[in-house]
């Protein structure tokens, strides 16, 4: 796929939030500090800790452009699909509300798309950027899932599970995404590969959380990801979405 440069692009940042009242405001403020044209859309996935009310206040204070509320908890993938459908920028990215990922990395990640070289850019936690030292087996699991995904997609990614995936909105909104929970990362990667998208990868910093600090993903999500790798790669939906 060929695409023209986007010299004055606008970035839509989708912030899925479930019980992130402790960090959501800091995320919004750090995003607003960026020297970028931003649209920030937060999606509250039926939080029980006051996150929804906090996000509404941040919208009134113009730190967020829009808040979408799910009346029942539907999962991260469903929250992202709601945000993607509402996005109006040239490029879309996910920003988790827990500050594991640093918004300061976003301007550099935008450059391959801005120059017209890429349709999607992955921010890799495993290409040498600064990172908090945490769990050995989490890293092993991430490398294994990335390896399995690469075997099906024939991509050479180093971090398939990264949150920072910047995608041109015109491409993203025509991909048939269906995953409601953590299978989203696998599904998006499969659909980008199947669409023939030009994907770049750049190093990012990473400050992971411990479970005591609120980390939610578990080994069960890793097992589910293996199933999703097979499902989304071997059984892609039919339709016109692959046509460039």
> Mean pLDDT, to the nearest integer, of 154-163?
96
Domains in the chain, ordered, with CATH? 10-234 (3.90.550.10)
Structure confidence at residue 216 as a pLDDT band (50, 70, 90): low
Residue 51: pLDDT over 70: yes
Greater model confidence, 53 or 134: 53
CA atoms of 187 and 210, how far apart (whole Å) = 26
Of the ranges 4-8, 27-31, 70-74, 113-117, which one carries the lowest mean pLDDT score?
Answer: 4-8
pLDDT (0 to 100) of residue 182: 74
Q: Compute the distance between CA of residue 111 and CA of residue 133 in angstroms, rounded to an integer.
A: 28
* pTM exceeding the 0.85 threshold for the entire prediction: yes
Mean per-residue pLDDT for 52-68? 98
Q: Does position 211 have pLDDT exceeding 50, yes or no? A: no
Q: What interhelical angle do 136-153 and 184-195 show, nearest 10?
A: 30
- What's the CA gap between 148 and 19, in Å, rounded? 31
pLDDT category, 181, cuts 50, 70, 90? confident
pLDDT of residue 244: 55
């Amino acid at each position: 796929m060929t695409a023209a440069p986007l010299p004055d692009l606008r970035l839509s940042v989708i912030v899925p939030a479930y019980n992130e009242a402790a960090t959501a405001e800091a995320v919004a403020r750090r995003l607003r500090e960026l020297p970028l044209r931003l649209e920030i859309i937060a999606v509250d996935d039926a939080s029980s800790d006051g996150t929804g009310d906090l996000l509404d206040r941040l919208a009134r204070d113009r730190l967020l452009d829009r808040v979408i509320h799910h009346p029942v908890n539907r999962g991260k993938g469903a929250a992202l699909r709601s945000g993607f459908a509402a996005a109006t920028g040239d490029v879309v990215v996910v920003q988790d509300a827990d500050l594991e990922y640093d918004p300061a990395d976003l301007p550099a990640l935008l450059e391959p798309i801005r120059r017209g070289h890429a349709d999607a850019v992955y921010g890799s936690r495993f290409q040498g950027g600064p990172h908090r030292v945490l769990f050995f087996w989490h890293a092993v699991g991430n490398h294994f899932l990335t390896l399995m995904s690469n075997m099906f997609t024939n991509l050479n990614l180093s971090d398939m599970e990264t949150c920072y995936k910047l995608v041109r909105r015109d491409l993203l909104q025509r991909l048939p995404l269906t995953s409601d929970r953590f299978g989203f990362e696998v599904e998006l990667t499969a659909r980008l590969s199947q669409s023939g998208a030009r994907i770049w990868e750049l190093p990012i910093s990473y400050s992971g959380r411990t479970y005591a600090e609120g980390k939610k993903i578990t080994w069960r999500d890793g097992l589910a990801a293996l199933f999703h790798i097979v499902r989304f790669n071997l059984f892609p939906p039919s339709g016109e979405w692959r046509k460039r």
